[in-house]
Amino acid sequence: MAKFQPLQAPKGVSEYFPDRSEIFEFVRETLIGSAKGAGYQLIELPVFEDTELFKRGVGESTDVVSKEMYTFEDRGGRSITLRPEGTAGVMRSVIEHNLDRGQLPVKVWYSGAFFRAERPQAGRYRQFYQVGIEAIGLNDPEIDVEVIAVAQRAFTNLGLKNYSLEITSLGDAESRARYTKDLREFISTLNLDEETARRADINPLRLFDDKRDEIKTAMSSAPILLEYLSEESAAHFARVQELLTALGIAYTVNKRMVRGLDYYTGTAFEFVHHGLGAQSGIGGGGRYDGLMAQLGGSELSGIGFGIGVDRCVLACEAEGIALPDSSALDLFIVPISSSAKGGAVLLAERLRSAGLQVDIAYGDRSLKGGMKAADKSRARFSLVLGDDEVTSDLASLKNMKTGESRSVTISTLHDSSLAIF
């Protein structure tokens, strides 16, 4: 029989398996927990959407839409794209299911895999994981601060310390109109290649996001949007800063920050970790006042963030953060005879039905091999079953942390038997 070569995951895919999956789960659940603590509710979205959603919602001038999307035709000839980000899908769902017609703001969280055809490197993957929140329906600076504070609390709960928060305002429609006029005039004096000029024509702000040194140098003397804010936008941004200071959330104002997606307006922010090298952004977001209307909905404002689970895993590892002691198993059963194997299965299922987490040393293992498996399982307790134990209905329950053992009645073993030990 021919021997097949083992297959590998596609290049640029982040995947997590034991034991590293534990820190992934810890990070993801901590991020989600912070969102839940502020009243955000789950929204579960499709992994793929109509391509037009991202073209219209994210912006055709962005690298995401112009270069990085995984787009294909389905069997019905429809253009489908694997989701590269979460906000556009959330907004589509809110509009489609009339969530904006109920109590405002609509506050939702999501998590899952996202896809961009980028050049893989440390912290940048073609399949990556995010946890995000969106607060839709109000244009209050207080909501802006809540969204930032949810992210801040999540990073604090993870134990991260070596990061900072950068904020700015991208202004309202009035601010952007005055600013864009002067920015286009400035860009017209630059010697740009055809592709860069095309992107700048669609959205001149995109040049601030260009990573090439020559473009960075050219844009270093460009006019600054913060200097064009309308009275209303300036007051909104000042209130955001006032509240962040009141909450003790440290920040710096980054005058040249732009987000990578076209829908951002008003408050924008990014959390940067200083131990990750080039891919230092661990999360960010901002306000998107015109996005709902652009996708066919009402004129409602919104703000949200996306936090990279992969980047946070790397940040936790860079800071040497130890995982909390969270043994998954309550009990590990070691059967050491043929008759005891059946008894172990029956006992395990009874205890699992009672809510305990139980595993068994399957296969024909010796006592030494079974206890070695018990050690690796990190269970709180172990129980050895042999012929004598099955016959007498008595077994020795061992506390795996202290090494202490005591006799228990197998048929009446339950949660309280472990709790008092």
pLDDT score of 327: 66
pLDDT score of 345: 96
pLDDT score of 51: 96
End-to-end CA distance of the chain: 54
Q: Please state the rounded mean pLDDT for residues 121-129.
A: 90
The larger pLDDT score, comparing residue 218 to residue 31, is at: 31
pLDDT score of 277: 83
Q: How far apart are CA 46 and CA 175, in angstroms?
A: 35
pLDDT score of 353: 93
Q: How far apart are CA 127 and CA 309, in angstroms?
A: 12
pLDDT one-digit tens code per residue, 27-72: 999 999 999 999 999 999 999 999 999 999 888 767 788 889 999 9
pLDDT score of 306: 97
Q: Whose structure tokens read 């009035």?
A: 174
Q: Please state the rounded mean pLDDT for residues 393-419.
A: 88
Helix, strand or coil, per DSSP, at residue 217: helix
Predicted structure pTM score: 0.89
CATH number of 331-419: 3.40.50.800
User: CA–CA distance from 356 to each of 54, 332, 347, 398, 414 (Å)?
Assistant: 45, 11, 11, 16, 8
pLDDT at 133 > cutoff 80: yes
Confidence band of 416 (pLDDT split at 50, 70, 90): low
pLDDT at 275 > cutoff 80: yes
Distance of CA 273 to the CA centre of its chain: 15
The correct CATH number of 21-172+230-318 out of 3.40.228.10, 3.20.20.300, 3.30.930.10, 3.30.360.10 is 3.30.930.10
User: CA–CA distance from 401 to each of 46, 48, 61, 415 (Å)?
Assistant: 44, 46, 58, 18
Q: What angle do CA 68, 197, 172 make, to 5 degrees?
A: 80
pLDDT score of 203: 80
pLDDT one-digit tens code per residue, 173-189: 888 889 889 989 999 88
CB 100 within 8 A of CB 300: yes
pLDDT one-digit tens code per residue, 359-391: 999 998 899 999 999 999 999 999 999 999 999
Q: How far apart are CA 68 and CA 182, in angstroms?
A: 30
Q: E strand or H helix at 342, and its extent? A: helix 338-353
pLDDT score of 263: 73
Q: Please state the rounded mean pLDDT for residues 196-202.
A: 83
Q: Please state the rounded mean pLDDT for residues 139-167.
A: 97
Give the whole-number percent of the chain exceeding pLDDT 90.
70
The larger pLDDT score, comparing residue 233 to residue 327, is at: 233
Nearest to 169 by CA among 101, 215, 228: 228
**Residue spans in the chain of domains classed CATH 3.30.930.10:** 21-172+230-318
pLDDT score of 121: 83
Confidence band of 197 (pLDDT split at 50, 70, 90): confident
Rg (CA), the chain: 27
pLDDT one-digit tens code per residue, 319-364: 999 888 766 799 999 999 998 999 999 999 999 999 999 999 999 8
pLDDT at 1 > cutoff 70: no
pLDDT score of 261: 60
Q: How far apart are CA 269 and CA 287, in angstroms?
A: 9
What is the number of H-type helices and E-type strands within the chain? Answer: 15, 16
pLDDT score of 232: 94
The larger pLDDT score, comparing residue 197 to residue 408, is at: 408
Q: Across the chain, what does the average pLDDT equal?
A: 91
User: Per DSSP, what are the bridge partners of residue 49?
Assistant: 81
Q: Please state the rounded mean pLDDT for residues 277-296.
A: 90
